[in-house]
Amino acid sequence: MIEKTLVILKPCTLQRGLVGEIINRFERKGLHLTGMKMVQLTDEILSEHYSHLSSKPFFQRVKNSMMAAPVIVCCLEGVDAIQVVHALAGPTNGRAATPGTIRGDYSMSYQENIVHTSDSPETAATELNRFFKPEEIFEYKQASFDFIYACDEY
């Protein structure tokens, strides 16, 4: 099933000059970029986004890290995109991530771990609505679509 999912390229990604490299990894896999913009996150939106961490002692540290520089928010689309993006990213802790994953290749940190990815269809829908207006996500057929999937895969 074709899905849309959110990816946030974190401030550490921008500061390290890895934006093009990370987007390239997703595109080379065959994921379809349907929305992308640079934003400066606020305490308010991060309190909502990370509300599940609000009781943790590191909550403010996470928010501060995500406000240290702008981020790039992306909407990626593809068959099973949520699982595919999550697998490409690798485990949250960059030190434990397998080489070949984004975090395994570019991160040595649990927090400064290059990307945020949605982990379920419900989360993806909520997060995409949080960061994108409907008119900021585009519907268009990728020219290579028929060469990425077999006709019975979508």
Show the CA angle centred on residue 71, arms to residues 67 and 75, nearest 5°: 135
Three-state DSSP class for residue 95: coil
> Which are the contacts of 2, defined by CB distance < 8 A and separation ≥ 6?
77, 78, 79, 81, 154
> Which range of residues forms the domain containing residue 6?
2-148
Lookup: tokens for 76: 């990626």
pLDDT tens digits for the chain (154 residues)?
A: 999 999 999 999 999 999 999 999 999 999 999 999 999 999 999 999 999 999 999 999 999 999 999 999 999 999 999 999 999 999 999 999 999 999 999 999 999 999 999 999 999 999 999 999 999 999 999 999 999 999 999 8
In a domain, 154, yes or no: no
DSSP character at residue 32: E
pLDDT of amino acid 127: 98
pLDDT at 88: 98
| CATH code of the domain containing 23 | 3.30.70.141
| Domain assignment present for 63 | yes
Among 32, 49, 86, 116, the one annotated catalytic: 116
Whether 24 is covered by a domain: the verdict is yes
Report the pLDDT value the prediction gives residue 131, as an integer from 0 to 100. Answer: 98
Please indicate, yes or no, if residue 87 is contained in any of the structural domains.
Answer: yes
pLDDT of residue 92: 96
Query: Can 32 be counted among the known catalytic residues?
Result: no
* This prediction's pTM: 0.96
Domain count, the chain: 1
pLDDT at 104: 98
What pLDDT sits at residue 80?
Answer: 98
Q: Quick check: is 25 in a domain?
A: yes
- How many CB atoms are closer than 10 A to CB 103? 24
Residues 6+ apart with CB under 8 A from 62: 46, 50, 53, 111
In a domain? residue 153: no
Any domain includes 132: yes
**127/75 Cα distance (integer angstroms):** 10
Q: Is residue 34 part of a domain?
A: yes
pLDDT at 81 (0 to 100): 98
What's the pLDDT score for residue 89? 98
